[in-house]
Structure 1
Amino acid sequence: MNTVTISSPQTGLSPRVLACLAATWLVWGSTYLAIKYALISFPPFFQMGTRFLAAGLVLAAWMRWRGAVWPAPRQWLNALVIGALMLGGGMGFTATAEQTVGSGLVVAFIAVIPLMTAALNLFWKVMPTRLELVGMSVGLAGVLMLMQGQGFSASPIGLLSISIACVTWSLGSVLSQRVFPLAPGAMGFASEMLAGGVVLIMISLLRGEAMQWPPQPQAIGAWVYLVIFGSLIGFNAYMVLLAEAPSGLATSYSFVNPVIAMLLGVAIAGEHISSFEWAAAGVVLIGVILLLKGRRG
């Protein structure tokens, strides 16, 4: 994910920043359970494709109404590349993993993404600090523990899917910073969602996915929640944090979301998470916290 350096940080957090922080913690932490409920009627790639197309259209229309210009052709091409990686691969395979693995365990695995992005940045000679290296090592140990738990060991397809999701999301995040920049502001996010949504629908068609008809009410409610809260509110709240909060605080969702998702999965969906898997998730989160604390700037 992008980070920015704040030249004159405020001593306190404004209500706007606090609200955005709550959105990235609670809303993003709950979206993984919503994905599982939407899967009742919406197959994975179709679910994600229609979700991001709807959110992208709403956001693009809103930005055009406010006077924003359309992205240039090169920026649309960049949006296609980044959307294919982060949304087509990242979110499509996340939903695929949730067909056979609990939502709490999926998001615990996803916590490794900051570690992967730090590793990928090595190709651009962005060298980690000593504390970052410790965090990456601890996080990797936690992921290896998580893979040995009953959830992933019982579902090789789920493990493969979430591994692909993490790699493609991390790669897309780094390339969006280094090689394929999006249009500035929210219009860039809108173009990414539109392009990624098209890729997801194409993959859905190639896979021959079929939506359950009529869809179940809880699946419709979950899909609407993902469009409004997960895509529109969550992404825009994160953009505000990047601009107005210290980078460590802005990216704190990466170690809060797994806790929220695991608790919601157990409390609402009745998912079973063993004590070993809780411990493994804890090791991953410690690694992420060390990585963020050791990050320069």
Structure 2
Amino acid sequence: MNILLYLSVVLIWGTTWIAIYAQQAVSGGSIGAAVFWRFIVASLVMLAALKALKRLHPLTARDHLFCLLQGCCVFGLNFLCFYHAAAWINSGLESVIFSMAVLYNALNSWIFFRQPPSIRLLPAAALGIGGIMALFWRDLHGSAASAQLLWGAGLSALGTLGFSLGNMISLRHQRAKRDVLTTNSYAMLYGALAMALLTLLQGESLQPVWNAQWMGAVGYLAIFGSVIGFGAYFTLVGRIGASQAAYSTLLFPLVALTLSTVYEGYQWHAEAFLGLAMILAGNLVMFARMPVLRRRVAA
């Protein structure tokens, strides 16, 4: 079960980059509106489905407060950072920075839950992050140090921190025996509403772009990227821990690159093949014969 969840996260999130790019390629509409419509659709679909299936569990006021914090961290402000960072830095550097979620989660798990990092984490993370850097080495090498580069890197790092903090809140929910689908649904709803408020306060419109490409991207990002992807990811966080689950962030750029090879003519080079080998080696170090990943496979 854990392996299936892990592969689902990698494959789904590896394809959402194409949808985000397709959405950004359509003129009109604000970044805030794009994030808002993605998560308002996802949250309403999830809440309706859970209500119909009688699986929407009651939460305390304290739980709802944590859902609000989770929504702002991982279903709102972090995406705002990533979308804006794309205007300052290339996607290769942004992916490298996001891969630091592995280390963010390890550190935050130790700070908030006193969970010591796995002995495999450091060598696996070193291989994985080194592999991502090799994959995007030509992009990174072409990025001149500038104020724009620092702004973009800072926003990406801030967005990754928000993602990691959202992981910690999800882990808190699951340790308190709260249903992951229920908490995710409310967190997405609150994150979407927070984005709506922030967008309106900035004087921007929430009007969607009535374009087949833009609307199709919203639908894919809402249902697959959010409902299924985040549901699988946060379930995985509860089952194998935030540090190990976050290692998937090192793998989904490979899926995105495969799609880019087919649809955008991405050219593989020696550094890219080296990076691929390092990332696969990192996965072997992290997960080969790891009892926690195989736990409950028969469940």
Normalized against structure 1, the TM-score is what?
0.75
In 2, distance between residues paired with 1:212 and 1:262? 32
1:28 corresponds to 2:28 = no
**1:36-87 deviation per Cα after TM superposition (whole angstroms, max 9, x unaligned):** 2112244322211221111101111111122223432221111001111112
1:34-73 aligned within 5 A: 34-39=19-24, 40=26, 41-67=28-54, 68-73=56-61
Q: Which amino acid aligns with 1:36?
A: Y
Distance (Å, rounded) in 2 between the aligned partners of 1:277 and 1:209: 40
Q: Does 1:166 align with 2:164?
A: no
Residue 172 of structure 1, CA deviation: 2.0
Q: Is the 8 A contact 1:33 1:103 kept in 2?
A: no
2:115 to 107, 119, 126: 126
Aligned length: 282
Query: Once the 2 structures are TM-superposed, how far is the Cα of residue 292 of structure 1 from its aligned partner?
Result: 4.9
Quickly say closer, same or farther: Cα 1:295–1:117, change in 2 above 3 A: farther
Which of 192, 201, 218 is equivalent to 1:197?
A: 192
2:100 & 2:280 partners in 1: Cα distance? 8
Which residue of 1 is the match for residue 296 of structure 2? Answer: none
> Which residue of 2 is the match for residue 150 of structure 1?
142
Paired amino acid for 1:150: G
**In the TM superposition, what whole-angstrom CA distance separates every residue of 1:226-281 from its partner, at most 9, and x where no partner exists?**
11221123234446667899999976643431101123234434567876577567
CA deviation vs aligned residue, 1:173-204 (integer Å, no higher than 9, x gap): 12332489684131111011001111222232
Q: Give the structure 2 partner of residue 5 of structure 1.
A: none
Q: Which whole-Å CA distance do the structure 2 matches of 1:45 and 1:284 have between them?
A: 33
Q: Distance in 2 between matches of 1:32 and 1:25?
A: 12
Q: Partners in 1 of 2:203 and 2:20 — Cα distance?
A: 20
Q: Partner residue of 2:101?
A: 113
Q: Is the 8 A contact 2:109 2:242 kept in 1?
A: no
- 1:72-130 CA deviation, whole Å, 9 max, x = no partner? 22211110011111122322222223345555654454233122201222224322243
The one-letter code matched in structure 2 to 1:35 is: I
Compute the TM-score of the two structures, normalised by the length of structure 2.
0.74
Aligned to 1:93: 81
RMSD across aligned C-alpha pairs, in angstroms? 4.0
Cα pair distance change 1:109/1:218, threshold 3 Å: same
- The change in CA–CA distance for 1:81 and 1:295 in structure 2 (over 3 A counts) is farther
Residue 256 of structure 1 aligns to which amino acid in structure 2? L
Distance 1:209 1:288, change over 3 A: farther
2:249 equivalent in structure 1: 254
Secondary structure of 2:120 counterpart: helix
Partner AA of 1:37 in structure 2: A
- Specify whether residues 197 and 270 from structure 1 end up closer, same or farther in structure 2 by C-alpha distance, changes over 3 A only: farther
Which runs of no fewer than 5 residues in structure 1 stay unpaired? 1-12
Between the aligned partners of 1:112 and 1:258, the Cα distance in structure 2 is 13
Q: Which segments of 5 or more consecutive residues in structure 2 lack a partner in the other structure? A: 293-299
Q: Distance in 2 between matches of 1:115 and 1:260?
A: 22
- Which deviates more from structure 2 when the two are superposed, residues 222-231 or residues 103-112? 103-112
Q: For residue 6 of structure 1, what is the aligned residue in structure 2?
A: none
1:131 partner letter: R
**Take 2:287 and 2:142, find their aligned partners in 1: how far apart are those partners?**
29
Give the 3-state SS of the residue equivalent to 1:130 in structure 2. coil
Identity %: 23
Residue identity opposite 1:84 in structure 2: C
Q: Secondary structure at the match of 1:126?
A: coil
Change (3 A) 1:137 1:234: closer
